[in-house]
Structure formats: C-alpha cells, structure tokens
Amino acid sequence: MTGHHHGGGSVANAAGLRRFAIVGSPNSGKTTLFNALTGLRAKTGNYPGVTVSRFEGTMRVDHQTVVVEDLPGTYSLDPISPDEQIVVDVLDTAHHAEGAETPDALLVLLDATTLRRSLGLLAQLLQTELPICVVLTFTDDLARRHGRLDTAALSRALGVPVVTVANGQRNALSALRGAMSDVDSWSSPVVPPATGTAEVTAWVQSVLTAADYAVPDVDARTRRVDAVLLHPVLGTAVFALTMFAFFQTIFTVAAPLQGYVEQFFGWLGELVAARVPIGWLSAFLSEAVIGGVGGVLVFLPQIMLLFVLIAFLEGTGYMARAAFLMDRLMAPAGLEGRAFVALLSSVACAIPGIMATRSLPSARDRLATIMGAPLVTCSARLPVYILLIGMLFDSGHRIGPFSAQGLVMFALYLFGALSAMTVAAVFKRLTAGSAPALPFYMEMPPYQIPRLHSVAAAVATAASAFLRKVTSIILATTVVLWVLLNLPARDAAEMTRAGVDTSDDAAVAAFVIDHSYAAAVGRAVQPVFEPLGFDWRINIGILSSLAAREVFVATLGQVAAAQNPDDPRDSLSQMRVESGPDAGRVLFDPPTIAALLVFFIYALQCMSTVAVMRRETGSWRWPVTAFVYMFILAWLMAFLARTVVAAIW
C-alpha cells in the first residue's frame, strides 16, 4: 500500500507513518471529529499553490503515531470549487500531485440523517480503491428523530466496515480507534457500484433498503426556530437585533474590560518610569513599546468578544440563516449571502474576514470579497476615528436628537460597508470570463448547540492571527518610528545655537522631533499630501500607519507628547501649520479632519492584511493592486471630503 514518495510540505515526511484522510460533505461533523482525534496537535496551513486550508494532525493508535488529514468538505468528486478540486487531487492515486500525499486509508464521514444524499459521494469514493471505513455521525440525531439504521446490515450491503461515533459519550471514539488500528482487516466491496447516475441512485436505494433505513422526521426543533428566525418580519427583526448586538459589543460591552487593560498599561508605564534609570531606555519602553503596543491591546477585549460572537453564531448554524436573509441584497453586487458573513467578520478584523471567504465556492466571489473586505470599518480604525472625531466634535455636541460623535461614527461604518460592496461588485465584473458562473446553493444545517471546544478553537485561530499582527508588525513599526523620531540626537550646544532653552524638556523634545529623520521624510512627501491639508507630522503618522492603522495614534501621540507632555490632546488641537501657503492655520481643522477620516476609510493600511491577501490569493498581484487602487481612491475621496466640508462648514 505504501511506497509512494511525494514532495514535502506535510507533517510527516518520514515514510512509514500511516496516513488517514477524513472525507465527507460539509456539515457532516468532520471538523469536530478531526479535533477529537488530533486534539491540539493539529497543524494548519495551505495546500501548495491554492487558497485552501490544510488541516493535518497526528494521533496515537495502538502505540503508533499516525497522521490524520481533514480534507475539505465536498459534495462530489466532480469538483466545482478549488476546495473540491483539492480532494480530487489528493485522492488521485494515479497522479501524485506535488505536496499532496495520497492517504493510505480513508475515513468517510457520512451523516446518518442524510444518507440518501451522502451515499452518492461514497459511491464515487469506492471507485478510488483505497481502503475505506465509513464513519457514521449524528446517529443520536437519527434516533431522536425516529429514524432507524442497521449498521451491521449497512456494512454488509456496502462491503466496507461501518463504525459510529456518538457525541458526548465517553467511549465515543473507541470503535473508530479500533478500526484504525487494523486497516488490513477492512473489507472492500466485491464489486464497486456502477458510476452512471441512474445506477448509483438505484444502488443507494438498494443499500438503504437492505440496511433497514428509516428516514428521520424533519428536525422539529430546527423547523420551529426557523419559523421565527426566517420569518419575513420576525426573522428580519431578529437579524437587525443581532447586528445591533454586534455593534453594541464593539462600543458598550467591551468598555469595562478596556478600562482594565488601560489601567494595566498605565501601571506598567509608571513602573517603567520609576524603575528604569536610563533616560532613553525609559522613554523607549514607555513611548514605543508600552504606548504603541498598549494602545492597540486596549482593543483586544473588544476584538475577542466579536470573535466569540461570530464563532458562536457560526457554531449554532445561524450564520447560514444570516447568509440566506442577506443573499438577495448581495446579489446586485454579484455576490452571495456567504460573502456577507465574511464582510461581517471583517468588522472585527479584516484578517479573519478574508479567511472566511473560503466558505465561498466560487473563486471569483472569493477574490471580489477579498478585495472589498479591507474597506469594512475594522476595529483598527477605531482608535483613529475616536481621536479625530473627538477633535471634530466634543462629546456633548448634538445634531438633532443624535450625538454628533455617534452620527459621524455611524456614517463612517455605513460608508465602509457600502464601499466594500461597491468594490466587490467592480472586481466581480472585472474578472468575468475567467471562470463560469457557479450555481448558488447553500445547505441549511439543523441548529446545534455549539460545542465549547469548537467555539474556543475558532476564537483562538482568529485571535492568534490578530495577536501575531500586534506583536510583530505594530511593535516593530512603533519601535522604528520612535527611533526615527528621536534621531539624530542633538547635543546641548547645537540646541542653544538654535535658540532652544535646554532646561525646558518639552522644548528640547520638540526640537529633536522637528529635526529628526522622521520629520525629514514627512517633509519629503509633502507634495503628495499638501492638497489634502496634511503637514509633515500627519504625513509621518500616515506613513507609519501603512504598517498598521493603530500606529497613527501612537505616532501622533509621541509628537504631541513631545510638545506638551501633560496634555497631548490639547497639544494636538493647538498645532498649527508651520510653513507654506497655509501657514498659521490650525492643523486639525474640520476640512483636514474630514480628509483624514475619509483617507482612513479607503486606504489599505495594514501589512498583515496584505500578507493574508497574498496567502489567500496565491500571488502578489492582488494585494499590490489593492494597495494601489485603495491609496488612489483614498486620496481622491479625502480631497473630495475636504472640499465639501470646507464649503459647508
């Protein structure tokens, strides 16, 4: 059975480790089984050259280590999407695809409540002549819904071993483990079923009769819940409520937790100031490290809560309902309901949102949604928005019955969403002709109580992506920026010559920053940003924010704190343009703030997003395109905003 030697890229290059692959349709319980078998020893990644997730792990069976791979869910070995193509490639014993090793044995997951459909997939898999063991899931649901199945008779009729895994039982996996330890004993069908559609249907009918299969009743619980959640009026109301809860989470629910994080970093800052004797090191730690990273981690509670909410909704099966409700609205953009779910995830952070596009079977849809997702207002923009809106209106200001600040924030979210849809529509149209349009279909699985383990795993995946961004990119950028803002160091003589009072710390700091490398860069790009009303300080803020948006606030904070350590906020609002035709004007006046806000709606300022785009689309072409078009769009829209606001303010 072994003896195939393939290229690398998998967990076990060592020959001799038996490979099992889990195959089955989506929603058949594969992920749950995979997690149960491999525990935390699973490695995730991509299949080479394509944007399909690869899940591989190890487990011990009978004192031996074996590799278990969770192949993407598929309805058929006649592939319609990249995911399904992967399954075909991996199972292709004749052609060994690079990096996709042919498994030694297949664990075919069949949902016992949908056997009539899923046996069709088994019929195709039996043609591969790989050893197969059928794993029946949801047998408890089958019994609960008054279905019936004789697994021994099923095994005899199919010609392959059949084991059941019952959720929640202590020895749920024992039968499966037993089977996995003795692959050589697995029987195979004496004659594989014929491949014609009519013959397969007849074969399925014959097998189900022999196995005494009684179709389960309609899942009453799901029907009852759907009667509400998919009701034209009630369902839409519940959906609106869910969206509202989403946004409440962002602002209200996470607030106390954010307070704790802020307190922690404040305490840390004081500790550093008190304990670290070396002046520049103390400044470095408190400004660059704690200020930069801390300013971002303040938003971690909020992001985590959003991830939990998303994972929970996904786990219950509600996301399919949300996609169903939104499909009609997504259609004008050439997208489908599941794209809405991906865009919704982007409200937390575009990175898991982009990864959620994998649920879209159409490669064109995936690309269009990936290109639009960064425009959705993500949590990273919030520190910037809050800072700028605070400078535009103070918290008491009202426009009609609404808080002015709230209104602007709402408008920013709305703009982000609409822009995302528009961009996605444009890209969908641009790629027309590259692939045929896929028919839309979406399975509506029965509602389930999500298992804590699965929710936790989903949240951990999303959170780790975010944390990786924080610790690597943001930290690196704030450090680099701090260095550039504080070099070249000036000595006292130089400063006195320039007329600076060396005993005034604030004046010294301001001088250093004013003549730093960063300032030089900021002034150098002035021609680009001048029409928008930015000056060199905003410029370096923007340049640094290209790495990660949150850095903008840290950068401006450093610049402002240098001038006025006690009240940086005040310093910001007092800043004036230093030179050029506009000299003397308040820097952060309404047109400039408007331009800045709009710039942040549209510009792609997140290297992590660029990296994920690269990984998901498989080339640099698309992230570079995204970066360029978004920069141009941001500039134009910012200029427009500035002009409009200047006219009506």
Partner 1 sequence: MRPAEVIALHPERVAGEPSAVRWVVPPGIVPSGRVVSAPGRLGRLFDDGTVTAGLVEHAAVWLWLHDGLTWREEGRPVAAALREALAEPRDWIIEPARGEVLERVTADVLGGAFGDFVRSHGGAAAVQLIGDDVVAVELGGACRNCPAADITLRQRLIRQLRQRCPDVKEVDRTRRGRLLVTLGNVRPSSG
Partner 2 sequence: MADLVRGQRARVVGYGDEVATSTARRLFDLGIAPGAEVAMVRRAPLRDPVIFRVADYEIALRNVESRCIHVELVT
- What residues make contact with partner 1 under the rule CB under 8 A? 152, 156-157, 159, 187, 189-194, 196, 198-199, 201-203, 205-207, 209-210
Q: Work out what residue 191 binds among partner 2, partner 1, none; the CB cut-off runs from 5 to 8 Å by kind.
A: partner 1
Task: Name the minimum Å distance from CB 197 to partner 2.
Answer: 5
| Structure tokens, 355 | 């990864």
Is the CB of 62 or the CB of 199 nearer to partner 1?
199
- What are the b/e assignments for 285-311, b being 16+ CB within 10 Å? bbbbbbbbbbbbbbbbbbbbbbbbbbb
Residues contacting 91, CB < 8 A, separation 6+: 21, 23, 77, 102, 103, 106, 125, 128, 130
Asked if 649 touches partner 2 (CB under 8 A), the answer is no
Which of 229-237, 384-392, 591-599, 639-647 is the region at the interface with partner 2 (rule: CB under 8 A)?
A: 229-237
Residues 234 to 273 in contact with partner 2, rule: CB under 8 A: 235-236
Is the CB of 175 or the CB of 322 nearer to partner 2?
322
Beta bridge pairs of residue 179: none
Asked if 232 touches partner 2 (CB under 8 A), the answer is yes
Q: Work out what residue 453 binds among partner 2, partner 1, none; the CB cut-off runs from 5 to 8 Å by kind.
A: none
Is the CB of 153 or the CB of 166 nearer to partner 1?
153
Across the beta sheet with 105-111, the strand order is 42-46, 53-61, 64-70, 19-24, 105-111, 132-137, 162-164
Which of 96-104, 439-447, 511-519, 611-619 is the region at the interface with partner 2 (rule: CB under 8 A)?
A: 439-447
Residues contacting 108, CB < 8 A, separation 6+: 23, 24, 121, 122, 125, 132, 133, 134, 135
Q: Contact letters (x/-) for partner 2, 98-117, by CB under 8 A?
A: ---------------xxxxx
For every residue of 276-298, DSSP letters joined together read: --SHHHHHIIIIIIIIIIHHHHT
Nearest residue to 561 (alpha-carbon basis) of 360, 347, 291: 291
Would you call 138 helix, strand, or coil by DSSP?
coil
Asked if 436 touches partner 2 (CB under 8 A), the answer is yes
Q: Work out what residue 328 binds among partner 2, partner 1, none; the CB cut-off runs from 5 to 8 Å by kind.
A: partner 2
Type of residue numbered 589: D
Is the CB of 158 or the CB of 572 nearer to partner 1?
158
| Structure tokens, 5 | 């030697």
Task: Name the minimum Å distance from CB 571 to partner 2.
Answer: 52
- Angle (CA) 466 539 282, round 5°: 65
Asked if 3 touches partner 2 (CB under 8 A), the answer is no
Task: Name the minimum Å distance from CB 188 to partner 1.
Answer: 9
Q: Work out what residue 120 binds among partner 1, partner 2, none; the CB cut-off runs from 5 to 8 Å by kind.
A: partner 2
Q: Which helix (H) or strand (E) holds 108?
A: strand 105-111
Q: Identify the residue among 11, 121, 333, 598 touching partner 2 (CB under 8 A).
A: 121
Which of 48-56, 226-234, 469-477, 574-582 is the region at the interface with partner 2 (rule: CB under 8 A)?
A: 226-234
Asked if 332 touches partner 2 (CB under 8 A), the answer is no
Asked if 513 touches partner 2 (CB under 8 A), the answer is no
Tokens 């058949």, residue? Answer: 28
Q: Work out what residue 152 binds among partner 2, partner 1, none; the CB cut-off runs from 5 to 8 Å by kind.
A: partner 1
Task: Name the minimum Å distance from CB 145 to partner 2.
Answer: 10
Strand duo 19-24 + 105-111: pairing: parallel
Is the CB of 189 or the CB of 390 nearer to partner 1?
189
Asked if 328 touches partner 2 (CB under 8 A), the answer is yes
Strand duo 53-61 + 162-164: pairing: unpaired
Q: Work out what residue 210 binds among partner 2, partner 1, none; the CB cut-off runs from 5 to 8 Å by kind.
A: partner 1
- State residue 118 phi and psi, 5-degree precision: -70, -20
Q: Work out what residue 441 binds among partner 1, partner 2, none; the CB cut-off runs from 5 to 8 Å by kind.
A: partner 2
Asked if 359 touches partner 2 (CB under 8 A), the answer is no
Q: Work out what residue 157 binds among partner 1, partner 2, none; the CB cut-off runs from 5 to 8 Å by kind.
A: partner 1
- What are the b/e assignments for 3-22, b being 16+ CB within 10 Å? eeeeeebbbeeeeebbbbbb
Type of residue numbered 104: D
Task: Name the minimum Å distance from CB 638 to partner 2.
Answer: 35
Task: Name the minimum Å distance from CB 232 to partner 2.
Answer: 4
Asked if 88 touches partner 2 (CB under 8 A), the answer is no
Task: Name the minimum Å distance from CB 234 to partner 2.
Answer: 10
Q: Identify the residue among 82, 103, 216, 291 touching partner 2 (CB under 8 A).
A: 216
Task: Name the minimum Å distance from CB 136 to partner 1.
Answer: 18
- State residue 65 phi and psi, 5-degree precision: -85, 135
Is the CB of 120 or the CB of 533 nearer to partner 2?
120
Nearest residue to 372 (alpha-carbon basis) of 348, 344, 395: 344
- Our measurement of the distance from residue 390's CA atom to the centroid of its chain's CA atoms, rounded to an integer in Å, reads 29
Q: Which three-class secondary structure string do you get for 458-502? A: HHHHHHHHHHHHHHHHHHHHHHHHHHHHHCCCCCHHHHHHCCCCC
How many whole angstroms separate alpha carbon 277 and alpha carbon 257? 32
Q: Work out what residue 203 binds among partner 1, partner 2, none; the CB cut-off runs from 5 to 8 Å by kind.
A: partner 1
Q: Are 306 and 465 in contact (CB under 8 A)?
A: no
Asked if 411 touches partner 2 (CB under 8 A), the answer is no
Strand duo 398-399 + 402-403: pairing: antiparallel
Q: Work out what residue 194 binds among partner 2, partner 1, none; the CB cut-off runs from 5 to 8 Å by kind.
A: partner 1
Is the CB of 29 or the CB of 193 nearer to partner 1?
193
| Structure tokens, 420 | 């995302």
Other beta carbons within 10 Å of 160: 21
Residue 590: HSE in the Cβ half-sphere, 13 Å Cα cutoff: 11
Task: Name the minimum Å distance from CB 250 to partner 1.
Answer: 53
State the residues that interact with partner 2 by CB under 8 A.
75-76, 78, 80, 113-117, 120-121, 197, 201, 215-216, 218, 226, 230, 232-233, 235-236, 320, 324-325, 327-329, 331, 337, 436, 439-445
